[in-house]
Structure 1
Amino acid sequence: MARRIIFLLFLIACVVDRSVNVHCEKQLVSSFDKHDNASSSLAELFSGKRIPLFRYITNKTSRLSTKAVQVGWDRGLQTSLYVISVGLGTPAKTQIVEIDTGSSTSWVFCECDGCHTNPRTFLQSRSTTCAKVSCGTSMCLLGGSDPHCQDSENYPDCPFRVSYQDGSASYGILYQDTLTFSDVQKIPGFSFGCNMDSFGANEFGNVDGLLGMGAGAMSVLKQSSPTFDCFSYCLPLQKSERGFFSKTTGYFSLGKVATRTDVRYTKMVARKKNTELFFVDLTAISVDGERLGLSPSIFSRKGVVFDSGSELSYIPDRALSVLSQRIRELLLRRGAAEEESERNCYDMRSVDEGDMPAISLHFDDGARFDLGSHGVFVERSVQEQDVWCLAFAPTESVSIIGSLMQTSKEVVYDLKRQLIGIGPSGAC
């Protein structure tokens, strides 16, 4: 199976971009599992490159831990996880983990009686650097779990629980161990959740866990600062059959900021009520160069985030109504046929690719991200006919710029300068 193929790899690290011009330094890496000949040889083949990132098709919605309203046709949509391979423990054991900028707590499936397992399940007892996080410690408090500790004398372990918008949840015990991206990119004493039980475990497909890249204190970037102060990724466009990884790969990079000229940036915005996410100050959306008639407050009220863990984009109902009406007018004028059975879905066989509506995002600091037609629609089979549906859904909570709108572009998180950037299409 193709999942066995990803089993493998990994190596290197080049990284990011940031404010003025940015790019991250490339660092060589070798294999994680020295005892696994297959993994070693594949890792060596990739040595000196960015960490490969794969698209994995599954059945899920947004995992953003902030509740969003889920309505309409997207409920049963087959969507994507974006995964990389990392090493965990000593000796490092390969873990295939989802990259999620919509949450901050990392976790993997661990050994325990009756737990969800696969051949790569993390075995705490075999790592010489693995240790439990105790109740009463600062890390247990940062993980938000210390108040749930019972009696630290009789029950010293620090529990964790993360619930996601799609209904799935992961919970167990906090541990610390060495997280490895490359031979020179290691985070010793990295705190993560050992999943002892979960709800909706099948929602996570065949991945080994999740890498929290959000803004919270438990996130990878916060735990590795100031050693690493930025990360970037490029999510691949190509789709693949369900349950398999795409032949085309993207990449993930972690490191120090360097200079680059083809990335545009907007500032991160702190919100007192939600410190787990990287917010941006979106003020307007334009379609084919014309701004929608919306007040900036419609987005600022709850905030806006980029989320690699949500394929669709979520915006307030009023904004979606105006956007969908503008899209409808343009498509009907260009020869699309409206689907009667599905709202905001169209048969676009008569629409040239160059006539697909293009979207730009405008921010309070004057930044503008031209996203083109990527992520505006998602293909779906309706009554044995291929149709295209608007890749947006309404929310009463945080607005989400989903992964579809980010595909093929380098997306940069510069923690030091507090900036998020997007490069031109074609980065992967």
Structure 2
Amino acid sequence: MFFSLSLFKLLLIILPLLSLIASSASTPTATTSYPDFQYLKVNESIAATKTKPAKLSLSQFHDDDEVRFGKRNDSSRKWKLEVLHRDKLISAATINSHHHRQRFDARMQRDIKRVAYLTRRLSGGNTKAAVKYGVEDFATDVVSGMDQGSGEYFVRIGVGSPPRSQFMVIDSGSDIVWVQCQPCNQCYKQSDPVFDPADSASFTVVSCSSSVCDRLENAGCHAGRCRYEVSYGDGSYTKGLLALETLTVGQTTIRNLAIGCGHRNQGMFVGAAGLLGLGGGSLSFVGQLGGQTGGAFSYCLVSRGTGASGALEFGRAALPVGAAWVTLIRNPRATSFYYVGLSGLGVGGMQVPISEDIFRLNQLGNGGVVMDTGTAVTRLPTVAYEALRDSFIAQTGNLPRASGVSIFDTCYDLFGFLSVRVPTVSFYFSGGPILTLPANNFLIPVDDAGTFCFAFAPSASGLSIIGNIQQEGIQISFDEANGFVGFGPNVC
């Protein structure tokens, strides 16, 4: 009796602690103290795959333009934009004909192309050579991709004077800001009317002799006007004239911003009008703003399949207090990309035995770890991936395994489970910070039948990419002026 009563009292103490660990595991931690295991809510994740994303109503954005384009007095929204996952831009007809597994397969195909593109661009650090394409290259290499789509997250900004509302893909690995323009010699279908420069009082074409034109990696000249060409490696491209134009972001008007006015575009952009480059180069949106925002921005990417929206905010006021800050590493041969120092990986509160050299950026510009919003699944050099995977498998106990799916070789059949206990997965950053991921960021549903896969993949190259699945739900901030990237403390 004494033993039973003591055991009962012990359970009363332990169970609340387990509950606390489970709840705290839903938010990212960036300290050396974190739970070794957490709980994945299987039934909630499966339910999310069966919920069709709501059809996006363009009218709701047009009706709210006075809020977004500076007619409402709310200083907190001055530099802030809503971030939408691409599933919210898919038409109702497309959603009805594509269940979760089909959307997943399409996403993985886009991801494979994105990674191949980044690997080519960063191989040997010769990015300029990688983006020089001739007309004949476009004619032979470009494929129609409207069924696959490109870009994972979108924002809505105003272009021109008066501002015309446009959806834009956000891409931390690109510099050029561009929109499709009339006359459209070749354009893909977008949600909003194609931007017409003739309707804007602030549109000015850049001349070939301009210093702005000189900053383009692949500039051309026609009749004294500066031309640009950009290919994204997945079959998408844009080409047209470089211009100075006014953009409206939140309640802020930005004049004389260099943007591409694309008259020939092929795309997997799912209705977006163009792309907002957030890379580290001088022609990116962040680079051109310079002192106006202090080289700082912050974003939160919401999880797939949810009805919520994330946020993209510019300016030093967007940098949170209490974030875990990691030093940004510059690759002079690839200035568009944000590199971070990664010293190791952890599973279940223990560091996996992997040499830090595997993640190092060498003097030739090879290797290293890039943070990218356009890549979904985190890629690791094969040796590092296999060590991480094997450690995870060893600590998952008797969870029923399933066959591999697409790029994933480690999957589980969790149909019928309400929740499962899984080991934590962590990034060990150089200098000490540790980022422990929520369970939904490394064990994801790939269908609506309970198949979950370990959301990492091997890379044959030495390049590591931290993808947006691992970034979801975590506030991520870039302080370019001081050379840091921050994680947390807030969640989306």
TM range (shorter): 0.7 to 0.9
Tell which deviates more after alignment, 112-121 or 396-405.
Answer: 112-121
Distance 1:81 1:45 in 2: 31
Select the residue among 29, 50, 66 that pairs with 2:118. Answer: 66
Unaligned runs of 5+ in 2: 1-54, 88-102, 122-146, 362-366
Cα distance, 1:290–1:350 mapped onto 2, change above 3 Å: farther
Q: 1:357 aligns with which of 415, 423, 426?
A: 423
- The structure-2 alpha-carbon separation of the partners of 1:80 and 1:220, relative to structure 1 and needing over 3 Å to count, comes to closer
Corresponding position: 1:262 with 2:328: no
Partners of 1:340 and 1:285 in 2: CA distance:
23
Q: Say whether residues 1:100 and 2:160 are aligned partners.
A: no
Match of 2:290 in 1: 225
Residue 273 of structure 1 pairs with residue 333 of structure 2? yes
Provide closer, same or farther for how the CA distance between residues 205 and 233 of structure 1 changes in structure 2, counting only shifts above 3 A: same
Tell me, which stretches of 5 or more residues in structure 1 are unaligned? 12-28, 33-39, 70-75, 240-245
Q: Structure 2: how far apart are the matches of 1:424 and 1:80?
A: 26
Amino acid at match of 2:381: P
Structure 2: how far apart are the matches of 1:255 and 1:228?
4
- For the structure 1 residues 341 and 93, does the alpha-carbon distance in structure 2 shift closer, same or farther, using more than 3 Å as the test? closer
Aligned to 1:82: 153
After superposition, the C-alpha distances for 1:139-181 in whole angstroms (9 at most, x for unaligned) are: 11212133x43xxxx6322222222243322222211101211
1:340-355 mapped onto 2 (5 Å cutoff): 343-349=409-415, 353=419, 355=421
Q: What residue in structure 2 maps to residue 338 of structure 1?
A: 402
Between stretches 306-315 and 157-166, larger displacement belongs to 157-166
Whole-angstrom distance in 1 between the partners of 2:150 and 2:200: 34
Structure 1 SS opposite 2:446: strand
TM-score by length of 2: 0.70
Cα distance in 1 for residues equivalent to 2:410 and 2:383: 15
Task: Report how many aligned residue pairs link the two structures.
Answer: 378
Match of 1:188 in 2: 255
Deviation for aligned residue 1:186: 2.6
The structure that has the greater radius of gyration is 2
Question: For the residues of structure 2 that align with 1:341 and 1:401, how far apart are their CA atoms?
Answer: 20
One-letter amino acid matched to 2:254: I
What is the letter of the counterpart of residue 90 of structure 1? S
The answer for the alignment partner of 1:375 in structure 2 is 441
Report 1:260-409 matches (<5 A): 260-301=320-361, 302-331=367-396, 333-339=397-403, 343-349=409-415, 353=419, 355-381=421-447, 385-395=449-459, 396=461, 398-409=463-474
State the Cα deviation string for residues 249-278 of structure 1 (Å, max 9, x = none).
Answer: 111111224774331110111112211111
User: Which structure has more helix as a fraction of its residues?
Assistant: 2
Find 2:213's aligned residue among 140, 143, 152. 140
Q: What are the residue-to-residue correspondences of 1:39-58 with 2, within 5 Å? A: 48-49=76-77, 50-57=80-87
State whether residues 105 and 192 of structure 1, in contact with CA within 8 Å, keep that contact through their aligned partners in structure 2: yes
Counterpart of 2:81 in structure 1: which amino acid? I
Identify, as 1 or 2, the structure richer in strand. Answer: 1
Distance in 2 between the 1:82 and 1:6 partners? 19
Percent identity for Structure 1 against Structure 2 = 25
Q: Comparing 354-363 with 123-132, which one deviates more in the overlay?
A: 354-363
**Does structure 2 conserve the Cα–Cα contact (< 8 Å) formed by 1:110 and 1:123?**
yes
CA shift, 1:354, in A, is 5.4
Contact 1:180/1:187, CA 8 A, preserved across alignment: yes
C-alpha distance in 2, partners of 1:10/1:327?
A: 46
Cα 1:285–1:93 shift into 2, 3 Å = same
Cα deviation, 1:223-273, whole Å, max 9, x if unaligned, reads 00111121111111250xxxxxx5211111112247743311101111122
Q: State the partner residue of 1:198.
A: 265
Calculate the aligned-residue CA RMSD, in Å: 2.9
Moved more, 111-120 or 101-110: 111-120
- The match for 1:234 among 300, 321, 337 is 300
Q: Which residue in the other structure is 1:114 paired with?
A: 185
Structure 2 CA distance, aligned partners of 1:399 and 1:255? 28
Cα deviations by residue, 1:42-73 (Å, 9 ceiling, x for unpaired): x869985442211112743264652369xxxx
